[in-house]
Chain A
Amino acid sequence: MNEKYLYSLIAVIALFLVAYAGVEAAGLQWLFGIIIPYLAIITFIVGFVVRVKDWACSPVPFAIPTTCGQQESLPWIKPSKIDNPFSTGGVIIRMALEILLFRSLFRNTTCKINEGPRISYVWEKWLWLFSLAFHYSFLVVVVRHLRFFLEHVPVCFQILDKIDGFLQIGLPGVMLSGVVLLAAAIFLLLRRILISQVRYFSLAADFFPLFLIIGIAVSGIMMRYFTKVDIVGVKELTMGIVTFRPHIPDGIGAIFYVHVFFVSVLLAYFPFSKLMHLGGVFLSPTRNLRCNTRAHRHINPWNPKVKVHTYAEYEDDFREKMIGAGLPVEKEL
């Protein structure tokens, strides 16, 4: 057993027990249903903004965009406009492809040593595929949950529900995004546990969010399909939170508070963890800078102000003496 994922697993189980016992035994519904969610939302927003602000205060001393193609140079050499963007438009396309389709992950290869020994790099798309599935299904799940936070749910969210549940399996209908989210999160977890090289560089901070998200997905799926909760009561609580009139309706099962506690922990943990790649992807200088280093000089913003004395100023100071000594000058008297 690897202590790194064991600790993370134990932490998530402990969180479950804290919420379950807190609600079932101690009756702390108001703590897990109102106070902790509010604190988590505040921590999430303030922490996120502060973290991004800190990043924005760090200067980029060098132009360090990764170049994945030919740079714009002489007119007869064909440049790669997206992989080596020369203009702002190219950067926007590159960033959009990176953020929406994880293009750099698509280039993922795996290294193998064959007989010889000869090294070869092999096509490896599974990580890209499951990451994409994971992120998009998580997005759909989050957007679907807005039905608990909006009174008169706008039509677009209702349509999303319809599309997500179009298979109409069972009642309540199976939502594809929930199943895909859980499957993809388990894939990402197994990858870290089963592949020895990946396990070697995985830390507890890599496993903890995965276990936590699996916990959120499992508790959500349990509530929707198996143990059941009173949905109208749940919406009463969530609407209370977003309208600042919090109150705890009776008869909501402990599993709901476990789910909310997991989500609150995720939100509060977010700004302090690797999950900040949500904001960080926009701010990575290896992606968001233009590759125009030959055409424009990138000036290090922390360069100290150097006092210079140019030749023109030197000549201004000594012109008469220079002419008197017979030295050539650029500007005559």
Chain B
Amino acid sequence: MYDKNKIVTGLVIFVAIVTFPFWYNLGKASSVPEPKLSEKAKAAKECVVPKVDMKQEHMQILDLWRDTVVRDANRVYKTGKGKTFNMSLSTGEESCMGCHEDKAEFCDKCHNYASVDPYCWDCHIAPKEKKPEENK
């Protein structure tokens, strides 16, 4: 082999980069997050759409809701079963956060795991921070 030192150095760097995820995770136990449902959510039993769809499409539902509320002033969402919900992320008992009260346990668990940083909370206030104001 010619230029052995350079070739071997290059190949070692290549293999180190390609196998980065393998050695980065060495010795770390991977834990799959399970979002915790609040007592209220458990009691309600069903969300606006079935759990499987909610898991995959909640961001699009929220996006659609935001546009519907802001542009059409329509705040009522009717599920397939005829139940109505208030289209809101964090205002009132009927809203998303009204039922899923704990952002850290419900939203953040999966978002952190998948390294997703949604911009919901750029404008909205998380329920926990809201409480002191309510007490006034």
Contact = CB atoms under 8 A, between A and B. Distances in A.
A53 to B, nearest CB: 7
Interface size on B, as a range, is 35 or more
Nearest to B26: A243
A277 to B, nearest CB: 14
Interface in B54-112: 55-57, 59-60, 62-63, 110
Which one of B3, B115, B119 has the greatest number of beta carbons of chain A within 10 Å?
B115
B30 A151 contact: yes
Interface stretch (B8-16, B42-50, B128-136): B8-16
A244 B2 CA distance: 36
A243 B56 contact: no
B114 A45 contact: no
B14 A161 contact: no
Q: How large is the interface on A (under 10, 10 to 19, 20 to 34, 35 or more residues)?
A: 35 or more
Given A57-B2, A150-B24, A232-B114, A171 B59 contact: yes
Interface in A215-230: 228-230
Contacts of B20: 146
Interface in A55-112: 56-60
A161 B117 contact: yes
Interface of A: 41, 44-45, 48-49, 52-53, 56-60, 146-153, 157-158, 161-162, 168, 170-172, 228-232, 235-236, 239-240, 242-245, 249, 251, 279, 282, 301
Interface of B: 1-4, 7, 10-11, 14-15, 18-22, 24-25, 28, 30, 32-33, 52, 55-57, 59-60, 62-63, 110, 113-119
